[in-house]
Amino acid sequence: MNDNLTADLLTNLCTLVDQPAPKREEVRVWSMSGVERVTFPDGGTRIFKYAKRPFDSEDQALRLADTLGIPAAKVHTSVHVEGWLGMLLEDLGTPIREADDLDGAAAAVVLHRTRTAGALPVLHEEGLRALPSRALDHLDQLRKADRWQDTDDVEHALDQIAQAAETRAQGTTLAPFGWVHSEFHPTSLHIGQRGWRLLDFARAFTGPGLLDLASWHGTIDDPDPVRLRVFLESYVTEGGTPDALAERGGLPAEKWALGWHRVWAVEWFMEQAIRWINDPATDPTYIKVVRRHLTDALQLLEV
């Protein structure tokens, strides 16, 4: 992370809101983004969030969410410098508790009911079907760079999924189809004194809402279709469309959602490996995660 660049971003933001330099307190920092709480001399606070491509359009997604009535953190101002986004967001304070499954189901209902926004990228059935082929393209690029050499098992798994994709991707546009948060986890749902707000819209798109519901319980533990089925039923009870429980691609909704979410994650990890991170030192970690997700996807999609 370039400290000079983040300082420039914050300076530009402060100029836009006519504020002097604030005190900075790190909240979370990743390789491609970071979050700080900044305190101005008058005691006012804001959240300073910065991110590089491909996370540099979150300000647009957050403003769209606000316009369409989705409870989300408000953007006070934003700037772009050398492929980086900087934002000053409202400070929602410390959460009063962690989000639970009922919170997640209720928030997903509100999000998925929102009309779609033309500015968001779209993942239709054709796009979902193409994910394993896109991942194979990334693998080809990695191998041309003399990386990911001993990964015939990865290639074979992606080939199997690509061959089954035409059948298994059916039902992509069944409801809920619309806003997809794509980073939908308990940590992205802030429960505060004034209710809940969604955070982290950097990769929002229009697509099958079941991918959000499949992501809620994370990918660290083994996928649990029974647990997801209970979550889907809670979603419907909270007002979500009953079609969330419908079979698609010849599979129960929960297996379809978990399987395709893993394929979606694999394609994203492999794109990061060759395009956004592009650091051979990270290859062992990425290969391990990709193998695990592909093993899960093969089983869930019954390939």
Average pLDDT, the chain: 95
pTM to 2 decimal places: 0.94
What pLDDT, on a 0 to 100 scale, did the predictor assign at position 211? 98
Q: Which CATH architecture has domain 101-300?
A: Alpha-Beta Complex (3.90)
Would you list the domain boundaries of the chain?
3-89, 101-300
What pLDDT, on a 0 to 100 scale, did the predictor assign at position 117? 75
Mean pLDDT of 213-230: 96
What pLDDT, on a 0 to 100 scale, did the predictor assign at position 3? 77
> Euclidean distance between the first and final Cα of the chain, in Å?
41
Residue 128: CA atoms inside 13 Å, Cβ hemisphere, count? 28
Mean pLDDT of 285-300: 98
What pLDDT, on a 0 to 100 scale, did the predictor assign at position 276? 87
DSSP string, 205-236: EEEETHHHHHHTT-SSSPP-HHHHHHHHHHHH
Q: CATH number of 3-89: 3.40.1010.10, 3.40.50.720, 2.40.40.20, 3.30.200.20?
A: 3.30.200.20
Q: In this predicted model, what pLDDT tens digit does every residue of 143-162 receive, in sequence order?
A: 999 999 999 999 999 999 99
Q: Do the domains spanning 3-89 and 101-300 agree at the CATH topology level?
A: no
Give the confidence band of 32 by pLDDT, cuts at 50, 70, 90.
confident
What pLDDT, on a 0 to 100 scale, did the predictor assign at position 66? 93
Q: 283 pLDDT exceeds 80?
A: yes
Give the confidence band of 1 by pLDDT, cuts at 50, 70, 90.
low
* Count of all residues that appear for the chain in the document: 303
Pairing of strands 189-192, 195-198: antiparallel
Q: 132 pLDDT exceeds 70?
A: yes
What pLDDT, on a 0 to 100 scale, did the predictor assign at position 135? 98
